[in-house]
A and B are shown apart, each in its own frame.
Chain A
């Protein structure tokens, strides 16, 4: 399943870093960041037992990781 979030960042390189950070976060299957439209699409991994992924918790981690990589970035959850 995929969800789209609004983000805030001020350079194209930072957007790439956010993409990398999001992709490395556990629970994220695929992440794509568009600097031009300030959107992030996150595809979540379906847990092994087939239940719905806990998107809120995963996104909290994604946001934290992104902030680590790009201090003045923001993901609007």
Chain B
């Protein structure tokens, strides 16, 4: 608690003690009213002031105004009839207690979540020319500065390691506790912890552009992309408060008027009291605070697991997921291909095959090309390559010159899949067996193929299984890879629906078809590099491995900071839990308020119950909302099973929303 909050708590206690004292005193009549006014003004003077300001600015229906009318009205009734002043003062005391609690909860969760994510050290140790160290504020360090990070310290700025080797704990950014190795040339990110050795880093980004700053900014702006529930609450609050105020007005005037006309006692003060009770119940603060708080806590909790959700709106999308579509390479598989076999054609040999492949693929960034280069190793690329063209979904075509048998002549060369060769009328050899085949042809002569295999990511299998137990029945895989490679991976993961041999635009078409076939939402997970349009088209695009790739962060709606596809199921579960809490709160709050309004109108509920309906409900709702922050048990399979049936129910109800 900060100083201001302590002061407010003290004020509340003082007012409560004073009220209790006066309650026991023998005073009556006007002196009693004056006595009660002391704690009333002590506790409520700022509320009165704000209500007055609200009136001046023609912004009625302010909670302060409602409280002011209700308490002054109650005091007036007490003065004229009952003499029960304590009630009015108590309402104000409880109201202020609620406000204090709300303030405390908001500040606490704000701190909790942002301090958790704000991993930026304040200072950086800058190296000067003669090797000395100087501590300077990290925000003032220009790009290209040499800084030193000792073991155990957090890295203050993104940069490249120049000297020293160490392990880096990236858990703060990725949720992954296994340390990553850093050696000269490795890119390291702010917010991660240097574990074992002293490293010197040349900074690549300024403080504001560094990874930790960007993530923090992302989380802070996430709550601006509001979910439907939040927009509902805003609209509801706008209608609800004036409605209750008019209802209160009607309640105070109509029944006694009718009764008077019917020649019965009007009992004006009783109806007036009931109307005032209405006003106390009417405050929508519980809704207005607890719903955004739930989402904010949910986003914060997810970020602790290395899942960045870029808007609370996407939590709703994730929770309603009906189909999950995956890119294969780099998402479900590690994307680090290796050449597992070289299968030269009869009139060729391994050396020639590998050499042509390595030359043709030397500029390509395709994972298969990287695998070929890795196998080719440090041997020199001795031939000249010209007319280089990359054909999406096919491979590479180029011309190679400098072969020993005819050094002056250029030969057309091809490296790619069967389709590439087929297009040019070259028949490729038999490619039975696992893995992807990358064929090569030189001067229209088939040279053979290299078998390239990819490995599944460690979390993929468990991740797909978890999605299925979460009730997401349709899981599809899209890939530009061959049917055989896709079938093998799909079989390992138990995915029935897969589409292979796709160009980026085909992926988009298939995704659109799936979206049109699904009632719920469709999420797509890709690596964010070549599937940006697909990521954008999906109801929620999930990019893998946000660490270090700005494209992924900018094009996706959800970013998984580590490469683990298993986190998708976790994200869905966190979102569902959060939405369940939001829904609980909405029904709970509106339910209690409506009940209390009815009881109040019938004269069965006094101010005391009204205060509970306002402050008590708010405190309970805020406590419930705080549960969103705890995501620890979101992964347990037992819960996953429970959610299965709920998920199905929800899909059933989904029609109503559509």
Contacts and interface: CB of A to CB of B under 8 A. Distances in A.
A complexed with B: yes
Interface of A: 4, 10-13, 16-17, 19-20, 32-37, 39-41, 68-69, 71
A19 B114 CA distance: 23
B237 A13 contact: yes
A35 B292 contact: yes
A71 B234 contact: no
B288 A36 contact: no
A60 B63 CA distance: 27
A39 B216 CA distance: 13
Contact of B221 (A11, A19, A37): A37
Contacts of A37: 110, 114, 219-221, 223-224, 296
A40 B224 CA distance: 7
B585 to A, nearest CB: 13
Given A36-B292, A68-B57, A4 B63 contact: no
Contacts of A4: 221, 224
Nearest to A16: B234
16 contacts: A4-B224, A11-B63, A11-B285, A12-B289, A13-B284, A16-B288, A34-B220, A34-B292, A34-B296, A35-B292, A36-B109, A36-B110, A36-B296, A37-B223, A39-B223, A69-B59
Interface string B221-261: 10111100000001001100000000000000000000000
B106 interface: yes
Interface string B48-69: 0010010001010011000000
B509 interface: no
Nearest to B296: A36
Interface in B70-113: 99, 102-103, 106, 109-110
Contact of A39 (B53, B103, B109, B224): B224
A7 B380 CA distance: 60
A43 B99 CA distance: 32
A39 B226 CA distance: 12
A36 B293 contact: yes
Given A19-B234, A35-B106, A36-B110, A12 B288 contact: yes
Contacts of A32: 224-226
Most buried by A among B99, B225, B237, B288: B288
Interface of B: 50, 53, 57, 59, 62-63, 99, 102-103, 106, 109-110, 114, 219-221, 223-226, 234, 237-238, 284-285, 288-289, 292-293, 296
A13 B220 contact: no
Given A34-B292, A36-B293, A36-B296, A41 B224 contact: yes
A20 B285 CA distance: 17
A32 B199 CA distance: 43
A12 B53 CA distance: 18
Contacts of B57: 68-69, 71
Given A11-B285, A12-B288, A34-B223, 19 more contacts: A10-B103, A12-B292, A13-B62, A13-B63, A13-B237, A13-B284, A16-B234, A16-B288, A17-B59, A32-B225, A32-B226, A34-B220, A35-B292, A36-B109, A37-B219, A37-B224, A39-B220, A68-B57, A71-B53
Contacts of B292: 12, 34-36
Contacts of A39: 220-221, 223-224
Interchain residue pairs A-B with the least CB separation, the first 4: A34-B223, A36-B296, A41-B224, A12-B289
A47 to B, nearest CB: 24
Nearest to A17: B59
Contacts of B110: 36-37
Nearest to B288: A12
Nearest to A40: B224
A32 to B, nearest CB: 5
Contacts of A20: 238
B632 to A, nearest CB: 21
B223 A36 contact: yes
Nearest to A20: B238
B99 to A, nearest CB: 8
A2 B293 CA distance: 24
B310 to A, nearest CB: 13
A4 B62 CA distance: 27
A17 B238 CA distance: 10
Contacts of B59: 17, 68-69
A39 B219 CA distance: 11
A20 to B, nearest CB: 8
B481 to A, nearest CB: 38
Contacts of B63: 11, 13
Nearest to B63: A13
B334 to A, nearest CB: 36
A56 B110 CA distance: 29
A69 B56 CA distance: 10
A68 B219 CA distance: 30
A18 to B, nearest CB: 11
Nearest to B237: A16
B52 to A, nearest CB: 11
Contacts of A40: 224
A39 B225 CA distance: 11
A4 B99 CA distance: 28
A63 to B, nearest CB: 15
A17 B102 CA distance: 18
A77 B14 CA distance: 40
Most buried by B among A32, A40, A41: A32
Nearest to B286: A12
Most buried by B among A4, A19, A36, A68: A36
A11 B103 CA distance: 8
Contact of A13 (B103, B106, B114, B285): B285
B538 to A, nearest CB: 22
Nearest to A70: B59
Contacts of B224: 4, 32-34, 37, 39-41
A66 to B, nearest CB: 11
A44 to B, nearest CB: 15
Nearest to A67: B57
A34 B292 CA distance: 8
Contacts of A19: 234
Contacts of A17: 59
